[in-house]
Amino acid sequence: MTLQMLKFGNILNSRPAGREAVLRAKQIMNGSTDPDIILDFSGVEVLTPSFADEFTKGLKDIYKNKTIKFQGFEKNNVISDTLTALHLL
Amino acid sequence: MLRYLLKMNLDLNNFYKHSTKIIKGSIIDLSDIEFIHPWSIVMICLLLIERSAMSDKKLILPTKQETKSYLKRMHFEKILNELEYTEETKTLNAIGITTHLNLNVQEITHCLYRDEFNARLGHFLSMFTNFGLNEDDAHRATALVGELGNNVFDHNLGNWPTNVVGCIIAAQHYPRLRKIEISVGDPGVGFYRSLKVAFPKIQNDLEAIKLGLAGNTGRIGEVRGNGLKLIQQWTIQNFCGEVMIHSGEGLVIVAKEGMKEYTVNKILGTLAQFVINYN
């Protein structure tokens, strides 16, 4: 299942926003049996560590058996650096 | 002669060097100031907030007309009005300026709530681009502002010491130096009170700031604290810059060369700044 992160905003910031996004993601993925959750950052301009940490931890808590993968960030060094700093890549 | 010598460019170093001439109890005296950097502007905002409930509060505005015009350009009168510095507000309101006079400033922005701060991040992204940063650097600088603002609201929500809440942001671009200064201040609990609950052995503001910079959080039972570490890392590695944090009476400056710490005038809350040097 692929989540288009741009639909959560082009600037993804703050832990409360990350928590809210997890709740929305849960509704969007309702019933998905796909073993992977792909976070597609195409079009996102800014991803802060706070949002990224809260969002990915929240997903992992709910979907312990799924693998979270990342795509669409290749042209954005800041998103790449954020994910790297959080040991997500 | 003495008065001539006091005419000053109020950057970080000069602020602390001359703080006793500027801070006089309930009076903040800017009469000898010729230029004010974002760090000092936000510092003065915090000092004014701390004194806003005092009956004899007073701000002496700069005598130099150009400096007053600069403060007007920074929308300083808006925060003076919020804090009920009535006469001082009138003085600045009487100054007529064209907003486009100086495109290299980010006027003082007071975000009372987190949602307001988040909503303004898009504006800061445009600001960095307008200052001349490339897309990558503008994204990174916006993320840094985002993290500084997040810290303000994460650690003060429900716990603000006064009735004045939120974060105050100001920035200045120095095109000839290819340098940008961005300051974020808050009249909140500060590092010491924020971290003391989780780390009861800390003794003072300096210890608390250094603990925070090392990636520790005062929020018990939560795994977090990446923000300040990344702010330092990205500012130094990607921008060849510096990070300054003043909280309580502690001031810590982190740069490529290492960390410097000072005991300075006590403030309510925290003032943080990062400096970007770009090519």
Which residue in the set B118, B139, B223 is minimally distant from A17, CB to CB? B118
Over pLDDT 90: what percentage of chain B? 84
pLDDT reading at B206 higher than 50: yes
Mean local confidence (pLDDT), B177-199: 96
pLDDT band, very low/low/confident/very high, at B2 (cuts 50, 70, 90): very low
pLDDT reading at B54 higher than 90: yes
CA distance A73 to chain B (A): 12
Q: In this complex, do A11 and B118 lie within 8 Å of one another by their Cβ atoms?
A: yes
Q: Distance between the two ends of chain B, CA-based, in angstroms?
A: 40
Which residues in chain B have Cβ-Cβ distances shorter than 8 Å to A47?
Answer: 143
pLDDT digits (tens, 9 = 90+) for B22-37: 999 999 999 999 999 9
Question: For residues B200 and B10, which has the higher predicted lDDT (pLDDT)?
Answer: B200
Q: In this complex, do B143 and A46 lie within 8 Å of one another by their Cβ atoms?
A: yes
Q: What is the domain count for chain A?
A: 1
- Do B33 and B60 form a contact (C-beta atoms < 8 A)? no
pLDDT band, very low/low/confident/very high, at A44 (cuts 50, 70, 90): very high
Cα–Cα distance between B133 and A2 in angstroms, integer? 32
Angle at B166 between CA B87 and CA B147, to 5 degrees: 135
The SS3 call for residue B76 is helix
User: What confidence score (pLDDT) does residue B87 get?
Assistant: 96
State the DSSP code for B267: -
User: What confidence score (pLDDT) does residue B182 get?
Assistant: 97
User: What confidence score (pLDDT) does residue B3 get?
Assistant: 46
Which range marks the domain in which residue A61 is found?
A: 2-26+34-85
Q: Token pair of B54, please?
A: 């005092």
pLDDT digits (tens, 9 = 90+) for B89-110: 999 999 987 766 667 889 999 9
Mean local confidence (pLDDT), B128-148: 96
Please state the separation of Cα B32 from the chain's center in Å. Answer: 21
Mean local confidence (pLDDT), B171-198: 96
User: Which residue do the tokens 């300083």 mark?
Assistant: B76
Calculate the alpha carbon distances from B259 to B65, B250, B270 in Å: 38, 13, 18
Residue range(s) in chain B whose domain bears CATH number 3.30.565.10: 103-277
Which residue in the set B114, B146, B150 is minimally distant from A46, CB to CB? B146
DSSP strand pairing (B167-174 vs B179-186): antiparallel
> Whole-number mean pLDDT of chain B?
92
Q: In this complex, do B142 and A53 lie within 8 Å of one another by their Cβ atoms?
A: no
User: What confidence score (pLDDT) does residue B120 get?
Assistant: 96
Closest CA to B98 of B78, B130, B69, B123: B69
Q: What is the CATH number of domain B103-277?
A: 3.30.565.10
Q: Choosing among B113, B115, B118, B217, which should be mutated to test the A contact, i.e. which has the most A CBs within 10 A?
A: B118
Pairs of residues, one from chain A and one from chain B, whose beta carbons lie less than 8 Å apart: 71
- Do B251 and B271 form a contact (C-beta atoms < 8 A)? no
Cα radius of gyration (chain A): 12
| Residue of chain A nearest B115, judged by CA positions | A17
Over pLDDT 90: what percentage of chain A? 96
Which residues between 25 and 44 in chain A have a beta carbon less than 8 angstroms from any beta carbon of chain B? Answer: none
User: What confidence score (pLDDT) does residue B220 get?
Assistant: 62
pTM: 0.93
User: What confidence score (pLDDT) does residue A4 get?
Assistant: 97
Q: In this complex, do A11 and B121 lie within 8 Å of one another by their Cβ atoms?
A: yes
pLDDT band, very low/low/confident/very high, at B5 (cuts 50, 70, 90): very low
Q: Choosing among A12, A46, A61, A79, which should be mutated to test the B contact, i.e. which has the most B CBs within 10 A?
A: A46
User: What confidence score (pLDDT) does residue B218 get?
Assistant: 65
Which residue in the set B125, B150, B233 is minimally distant from A46, CB to CB? B125
CA distance B160 to chain A (A): 19
Q: In this complex, do A48 and B150 lie within 8 Å of one another by their Cβ atoms?
A: yes
pLDDT digits (tens, 9 = 90+) for B255-270: 999 999 999 999 999 9
State the DSSP code for B74: T
pLDDT band, very low/low/confident/very high, at B8 (cuts 50, 70, 90): confident
A54, HSE (Cβ side, Cα atoms, 13 Å): 22
Mean local confidence (pLDDT), B160-174: 96
Q: Choosing among A57, A75, A81, which should be mutated to test the B contact, i.e. which has the most B CBs within 10 A?
A: A81
Burial class from Cβ neighbours inside 10 Å (0-12, 13-18, 19+) for residue B106 reads: buried
Q: In this complex, do A48 and B139 lie within 8 Å of one another by their Cβ atoms?
A: no
State the DSSP code for B26: T
